[in-house]
Each structure stands twice: as C-alpha cells, then as structure tokens.
C-alpha cells in the first residue's frame, strides 16, 4: 500500500490466528478474522493451507469458529462454534455439534486415541442469598471469582456425545493436557486456603477413567504453574511458570513423572521464556 491507512480500510483487513499443524505436518488450519461492516461484528472462520504453500481454503462458514484442534489421525478437526465443541471432517461436510453446555466451553484437546475430547467449561453450582467477597482474588482475572461459577475440566466421548465433568471445587481448573497413554489428565489449579494471598498454582494429576479419583497435587505446590503439557515420552511434564515466588520471567521447567514418591525435579530446559 502506497498511501496512508484510512478508517474505511479496516473493513478489508483479515487477521489470521490460532494456527494448528496437522499430525502429518502437511497442512495448517487457522482462524481468520474479518469484519462484517453491515452487521458491525467480527467474523471468525476456519481456513486451511498446505505447509508447502498454496492457496488457502475456507473450511467453515460460521461467524464464531475458533480453537481448532486436529484429531490424532488427521481425519477430523474439533473447534468451538458459538461456545460449543463441534467436529468437522477434513475432507468436507457439515460440522457436528458434540456439546450442549449452558455456559459454553473452552478449547478442546484430543485424547491420544482420538475417542475423547477434554476441555474446561464454566460451571455454576447455584447459590442462594447475597454474594459475599471475602478474598482478594474476586476480580483477579478476566472471569474473576465472582459468584459461584468456576471453570472445571470436562471430558466428552465423541462417538456417544456423553459429557462428564471430572473436576470440582472452589478454584478454577486450567486447560487440560492428556498423558500419552490417555489415562491421566494434567492441569493447573490454585492451592491453599490463602491462595489469594500467596498466589500458588500447582500442577494437578487426575486418573480420568476412575470415577472416584480425585486430583492430586504433583508439582509447584510452592510455585506458580501457568501452562502444562506432557513430554512426548510421557516420563515428564513441560510447565511454564515459577517453581517459587513469581519473580522475574517465567521459565520452562520439566518435572519428572517417573519418581512419584520423591519430590519431582524441576530442571530448567531454557533460561526463560
């Protein structure tokens, strides 16, 4: 463009985001945001393009399609449309809705066998009487701690559509990560009755197939874990956060899973991220 940008040019801008690489590495699916000037709203749709280059192809025609995630075999894409998880065959067709939760859902994560999806979703257990704020974190983030609504981890069977809430409690549960064998989910959640004062967010592990299992604190009980994922070998986690007071830059740390009876090592793999 050889002239200055004008306000009317904003309607022509298209902004890509949230790229996801296919399992075979041949394609990328991403969210493309455009502006519908007539309706005065943003439009988010899924597009795909070969990693070798080429002409992008639109996959969806919705207005609010986000958070794409490839199935392990590359045959389907899970994404969020209008607050619910949908499935789309990569060779075309209409998306299929697989959740119907009243307060919407977060980004879906495939289990290694491709049979289930895990995600967080706000849950309102219901409460009567006036709302009382007796902690400092009642407005600590975008959703805050207002009222009784908390984000909890859910798992849905993509074949049957059966959706199960697998966490509960008074603290928000962070984005889930599947273990390579699909038997355990890791996530971050605040710990301690004084977590609003000490600001401690620990890594929790949950045996997802045991209906009686409760999450257990695995690492960072005295630190702050921001994002949690499994290493490919399944013998350790990759955590971005602080293993003590949240001072300075967050680090990429690797607590090992092979010695649960011992204090997990927190070896830094990079100085900081």
Domains and CATH numbers, the chain: 11-93 (no CATH), 98-273 (2.120.10.30)
pLDDT (0 to 100) of residue 108: 98
What residues contact residue 255 under an 8 Å CB cut-off, 6+ apart? 203, 218, 219, 220, 236, 237, 239, 264, 265, 266
pLDDT (0 to 100) of residue 10: 76
C-beta neighbour count of 261 within 10 angstroms: 4
pLDDT (0 to 100) of residue 1: 58
Q: Are 91 and 116 in contact (CB under 8 A)?
A: no
Q: How far apart are CA 31 and CA 14, in angstroms?
A: 10
What is the full DSSP assignment across 62-112?
-SBEEEEEE-TTSSEEEEEETTEEEEEETT----EE----TT-----EE-T
pLDDT (0 to 100) of residue 124: 87
pLDDT (0 to 100) of residue 46: 97
pLDDT (0 to 100) of residue 269: 47
Distances in Å between the alpha carbon of 259 and those of 17, 29, 210, 223, 233? Answer: 39, 38, 21, 20, 15
> Are β-strands 237-242 and 251-255 bridged in parallel, bridged antiparallel, or unpaired?
antiparallel
- Report the predicted TM-score, pTM, of the whole model to 2 decimal places: 0.86
pLDDT (0 to 100) of residue 193: 78
Q: What is the mean pLDDT of residues 7-28?
A: 91
Residue 56: which pLDDT band, with cuts at 50, 70 and 90?
very high
pLDDT (0 to 100) of residue 137: 67
pLDDT per residue over 136-193, tens digit each? 766 655 555 566 788 999 999 999 999 999 999 888 999 999 999 999 999 999 998 7
pLDDT > 50? residue 264: no
What is the full DSSP assignment across 228-259?
EEE-TTSSBEEEEEESSS--SS-EEEEEBSS-
Q: Are 188 and 180 in contact (CB under 8 A)?
A: no
* Residue labelled with tokens 């894409």: 77
pLDDT > 80? residue 202: yes
pLDDT > 90? residue 44: yes
Q: What is the mean pLDDT of residues 78-90?
A: 96
pLDDT > 90? residue 130: no
């Amino acid at each position: 463009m050889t002239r200055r940008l004008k306000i009317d040019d904003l309607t022509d801008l298209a902004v890509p985001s949230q790229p996801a690489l296919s399992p075979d590495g041949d394609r990328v699916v991403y969210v493309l945001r455009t502006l519908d000037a007539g309706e005065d709203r943003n439009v988010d749709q899924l597009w795909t393009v070969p990693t070798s280059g080429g002409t992008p192809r639109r996959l969806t025609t919705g207005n609010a399609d986000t958070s794409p995630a490839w199935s392990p075999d590359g045959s389907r894409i899970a994404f969020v449309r209008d607050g619910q998880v949908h499935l789309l065959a990569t060779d075309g067709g209409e998306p299929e809705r697989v959740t119907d939760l009243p307060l919407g859902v977060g980004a879906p994560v495939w289990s290694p066998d491709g049979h289930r999806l895990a995600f967080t979703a706000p849950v309102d257990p219901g409460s009567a009487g006036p709302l009382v704020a007796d902690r400092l974190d009642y407005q600590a983030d975008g959703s805050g701690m207002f009222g009784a609504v908390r984000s909890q981890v859910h798992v849905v069977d993509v074949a049957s559509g059966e959706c199960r809430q697998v966490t509960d409690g008074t603290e928000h549960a962070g984005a889930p990560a599947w273990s390579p064998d699909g038997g355990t989910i890791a996530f971050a959640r605040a710990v301690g009755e004084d977590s609003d004062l000490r600001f401690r967010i620990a890594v929790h592990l949950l045996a997802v197939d045991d209906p009686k299992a409760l999450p257990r604190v695995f690492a960072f009980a005295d630190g702050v874990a921001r994002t949690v994922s499994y290493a490919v070998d399944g013998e350790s986690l990759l955590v971005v956060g602080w293993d003590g007071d949240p001072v300075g830059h967050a680090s990429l740390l690797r607590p090992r899973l092979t010695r649960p009876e011992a204090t997990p090592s927190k070896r830094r793999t990079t100085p900081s991220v």
